[in-house]
Amino acid sequence: MTEEKDITRSRYRIVFAIFSLLLLAVVVQFASIMLDASAPVTAGRVVPPQVERGAIYDRNGRILAIQTELFTVTAWTPHIRDFQHTAEQLSRILDLSADELQERLRSASGFLIIKRTITPTETDQIRALVSQGRLPGIRLEPDAGRNYPERRLASTLLGYVGVDNVGLAGIEHSMNNHLLSPLPQSVSGNSGEVSAGNRIFLTVDVVIQSELERLARGVLAGENADSVLLLAMDARTGEYLGYVSLPDFDPNVFDQFSPEQRRNRPISVVYEPGSVFKVFSVAAFLEMGRLRSTDLFQTAGGYVSPDGRFTIRDVGNYGVVDARGIIVHSSNVGAAFASERVPADSFFHMTRLFGFGEPTGISLSGEERGLLRTPDRWSGRSRQTIAIGQEIGVTANQIMAASTVLANDGVLLRPQVVSRIVSPEGRVVREFGREPIRQVISPATARTMLDYMRASTEGMGTARRITVDGLNISAKTGTAEVFDPVTGSYSSTNFIASTLAILPTEDPRIILYAAIFHPRGDSIYGSRIAVPLIRDATEFLVTQLDIPTGRTQTARHSGRIVVSLPTLPELGETVPDYSGLPKRTLLPLLQRDDVLIDIRGSGWVVRQSPPPGTTMQRGMTIRLDLE
């Protein structure tokens, strides 16, 4: 028994001796680190592998955001011999308060971050002092930096990153997990190796973005507005080519700008769209069969509700208008009368199909869904006011998305800001592109609306100032009152002037939308201040994107072939023969106010009613079927 106890005691002594030796080794190692002034401050700590944030490019490969190596100034306070001297030296270089820095150094118990991501000049000055031994305990540690070489260009879309190299807004935030790809399993946790993130290619073109920003800045200053939005989209794919939101900021120094300047307005500002919304309400009424192109509404005297409790009026006196006239003259009264024919549930359903009241699913964080109340929460005037763009809250991005319905034969597309994601090795991880969501209206209704909008650019239409020589443009203007929650009524001083354009009418390639918030210049009307902005943007895009214009068509060939468009026969005492004429040639007929022109289909005239030679009578309808 005594022998067994002796063996047990011996085992305890051996275990205790081994444990003591291990503890002594740890203490010696720790002491050597503490006493060695040349030891790195990271000694004894796990050095995490570095992840290089992927670059962001425009659609053509021009760099918009890129990783840069910067340095962070740190201190290991047990090695600092003179706190006052150290604080004075660093404060002069880093533009810090010497007294505050000295207090921070004295109160720190060990490791302290003095300033993150300092400039190259600051880095060189501190490195020189450290190498001379004049700043003991001070070190420069590599840190990730982000550089935006184009500065303010597309800043709202790009966003910015924080000091921890994590995206905080814009693409930097929504694509953060792609830009910071997960580390491969082969990279150990304390290797310090670098792993690169994916590259993001946007849909925007820096040339287009730059020019649109220049035009929008002129309007922002000239109209003394609070903000200006100018959006340009490829009508065929839903890809944004330009995404302007002013005021903007410099993401290199984002913390020097207010949250309002950094705000991504196209997806986050919800507002009543005003008369631009009429293109969607009229399209819905036509699609439901509740409104026909030949229906007439007397607008003189305004619209008075059946119970007499409210009245809706127009800016001018437009007399009798049809569906086309509602768009051409932007008639509130005509739209209100038309809305009476539509059940509330059906109107709500069609409006939701256009994408209002729900997120579009764009690849950006912070998108607002807008405001579209269910019919059980509508008032007695909701149908009429929603029809003219009130009592509904939208974002500019939703307006752009809904407009793809008109430009794509009734199909709603998802807005895109990302073109593709590419791995560091050059492999395409994901490619975005045209993404149809649903069929909202028929192709015939979509074409009818484009024709109505085209008519608003002619004669006395509200968008007549948008004219670009040789180009057919479908447009709709808007001037929205701004509701003041303080007074509970619409403001008498704040308005939103806007214009939507789809071009060319015959084969839409571009969708443009401008919104000017609270202009305080010579005018508040979209027809006067938003239309010229759209016109200037159109003239630039026509050249930049090689969009055909003019009354001649040029085909690429070994030689040059010029095809003259046929002329429109005169509508005199008898109805002429329109057979074989293309749609574009027929469009001037829509300007006439003595007859109703009903153009159906696209291509060339194959049938007409009444037949050629019929005596022309005022108010008659001429139907032209195209195939």
DSSP states of 562-626? EEEPPPPPP-SSB----TT-BHHHHGGGGG-SSSEEEEESSSBEEEEESPTTPBP-TT-EEEEEE
538 and 580 both lie in a single domain: no
446 and 497 both lie in a single domain: yes
300 and 392 both lie in a single domain: yes
396 and 519 both lie in a single domain: yes
Instruction: Give the number of other CB atoms < 10 A from CB of residue 378.
Output: 17
The pLDDT of residue 194 is: 55
Average pLDDT over residues 529-542: 96
Domain endpoint, select from 91, 116, 147: 147
Q: Is residue 46 part of a domain?
A: no
The pLDDT of residue 43 is: 40
Q: Is residue 550 part of a domain?
A: no
491 and 600 both lie in a single domain: no
Domain endpoint, select from 147, 164, 183: 147
- pLDDT per position as a tens digit, 55-92: 999 999 999 998 887 888 999 988 888 999 999 999 99
319 and 379 both lie in a single domain: yes
Q: Nearest-CA neighbor of 434 among 460, 470, 469, 408?
A: 408
476 and 412 both lie in a single domain: yes
CATH code, 55: 3.90.1310.10
Q: Is residue 386 part of a domain?
A: yes
118 and 253 both lie in a single domain: no
Q: Which residue is listed with tokens 């979509």?
A: 446
Domain endpoint, select from 92, 113, 147: 147
Q: Is 268 helix (H, G, I), strand (E, B) or coil?
A: helix
Q: Using a cut of 0.85, tell me whether the model's pTM lies above it.
A: no
Q: Is residue 94 part of a domain?
A: yes
Q: Is residue 269 part of a domain?
A: yes
CATH code, 609: 3.30.10.20
Please, what is the average pLDDT of the chain? 86
The pLDDT of residue 182 is: 62
231 and 373 both lie in a single domain: yes
582 and 460 both lie in a single domain: no
Where in the sequence is the domain holding 518, given as residue range(s)?
211-545
Confidence of residue 23 (pLDDT cuts 50, 70, 90): low
Least confident span in 275-289, 314-328, 510-524, 541-555 = 541-555
Report how far residue 285's alpha carbon sits from residue 564's, in angstroms, rounded to the nearest whole number.
38
In sequence order, what are the residues at sequence separation of 6 or more whose Cβ sits closer than 8 angstroms to the Cβ of residue 184?
Answer: 195
Q: Is residue 140 part of a domain?
A: yes
Report how far residue 603's alpha carbon sits from residue 584's, in angstroms, rounded to the nearest whole number.
9
452 and 402 both lie in a single domain: yes
Report how far residue 396's alpha carbon sits from residue 360's, in angstroms, rounded to the nearest whole number.
11
Average pLDDT over residues 423-447: 94
The pLDDT of residue 580 is: 77
The CA distances from residue 563 to 468, 498, 525, 552, 553, in Å, are: 21, 37, 40, 6, 6
The pLDDT of residue 30 is: 44
Domains of the chain: total: 3
The pLDDT of residue 24 is: 57
The pLDDT of residue 511 is: 98
Report how far residue 79's alpha carbon sits from residue 231's, in angstroms, rounded to the nearest whole number.
57
Q: Is residue 200 part of a domain?
A: no
Bridge partners (DSSP) listed for residue 76: 111
327 and 453 both lie in a single domain: yes
Q: Is residue 160 part of a domain?
A: no
